[in-house]
């Protein structure tokens, strides 16, 4: 029995790029070796994890380091019960091609302040990991989009932002402070800031023009979506 010739990669890859559902991509991984390789690259380009998925994801990248270079968008929701911060930190350092990152609390988001104006269903206990910014320590990726529940005024978070000069969109789920002041030279490419409560300002020397960027308040419905802010963002 004669088998049809293999589909050229220049045709296969554009076709696979139209598959977005995880289950469809997983099935394609079992079609053939060529499908497996390229479907896997698409599958790992855009990853959404909950706490219970993180350990398996980290182990997979440890066993197949090439997959780490495929990850360009990553969304992680961490519950208060999550305990594998060191393993996650090591994994994050391998994601050299990451361009969009969201780290949030398991829904509902951990509103800690200004709760009088928020629906009762959005209230919960404070997020245990609000100071676990060390999971981003030593990471060399260059983000364009960053959404996080880390406290904007945290010195370690500010130090991380100092290394991320390519960020164009910054999103903060932080509700612990109204205004955060950053150095004038930080985030030179910032075009848009979304804040749940926090407002962002840059120090400006007298006589110099203030930094111009779009400052937006976050819609509660965005926070309730399965992928959070990354649902509305593309690279």
Token reading at 99: 């361009």
* pLDDT for the residue numbered 28: 46
Distance from C-alpha of 54 to C-alpha of 10, rounded to nearest angstrom: 33
* pLDDT for the residue numbered 3: 38
Stretches where the chain sits below pLDDT 50 are 1-5, 7, 9-11, 16, 18-21, 23-26, 28-32, 108-123, 226
* pLDDT for the residue numbered 189: 96
Q: Closest Cα to residue 114, out of 193, 181, 174, 154?
A: 174
pLDDT tens digits, 15-49: 545 444 454 444 544 444 555 556 667 778 888 89
Instruction: List Cβ neighbours of 41 (8 Å cut-off, separation of 6 or more).
Output: 70
* pLDDT for the residue numbered 126: 75
Angle, CA of 226, 31 and 234, to the nearest 5°:
30
* pLDDT for the residue numbered 174: 86
Long-range contacts of 119-125 (CB under 8 A, 24+ apart): 119/220, 122/220, 122/223, 125/80
**CA distances in angstroms from 146 to 164, 169, 230, listed in the order given:** 10, 6, 9
pLDDT tens digits, 159-182: 999 999 999 999 998 888 789 999
Residue with tokens 């960020």: 167
pTM: 0.76
The distance in angstroms from the start CA to the end CA of the chain is 44
**CA distances in angstroms from 40 to 26, 28, 218, listed in the order given:** 8, 9, 34
């Amino acid at each position: 029995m004669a088998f049809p010739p293999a589909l050229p990669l220049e045709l296969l890859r554009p076709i696979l790029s139209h598959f977005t559902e995880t289950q469809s991509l997983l099935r394609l991984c079992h079609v053939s070796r060529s499908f497996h390789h390229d479907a896997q690259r698409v599958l790992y380009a855009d990853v959404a994890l909950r706490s219970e998925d993180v350990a398996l994801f980290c182990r997979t990248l440890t066993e197949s380091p090439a997959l780490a270079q495929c990850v360009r968008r990553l969304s992680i929701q961490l519950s208060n019960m999550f305990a594998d911060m060191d393993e996650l930190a090591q994994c994050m350092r391998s994601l050299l091609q990451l361009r969009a990152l969201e780290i949030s609390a398991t829904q509902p988001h951990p509103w800690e302040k200004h709760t009088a104006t928020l629906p009762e269903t959005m209230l919960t206990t404070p997020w245990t990991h609000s100071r676990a910014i060390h999971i981003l320590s030593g990471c060399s990726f260059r983000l364009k989009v960053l959404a996080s529940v880390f406290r904007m005024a945290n010195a370690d978070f500010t130090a991380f932002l100092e290394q991320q000069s390519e960020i164009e969109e910054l999103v903060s789920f932080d509700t612990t402070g109204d205004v955060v002041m950053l150095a004038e030279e930080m985030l030179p490419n910032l075009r848009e800031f979304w804040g749940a409560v926090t407002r962002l300002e840059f120090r400006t020397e007298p006589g110099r023009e203030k930094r111009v960027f779009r400052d937006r308040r976050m819609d509660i419905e965005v926070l309730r979506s399965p992928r959070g802010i990354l649902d509305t963002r593309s690279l």
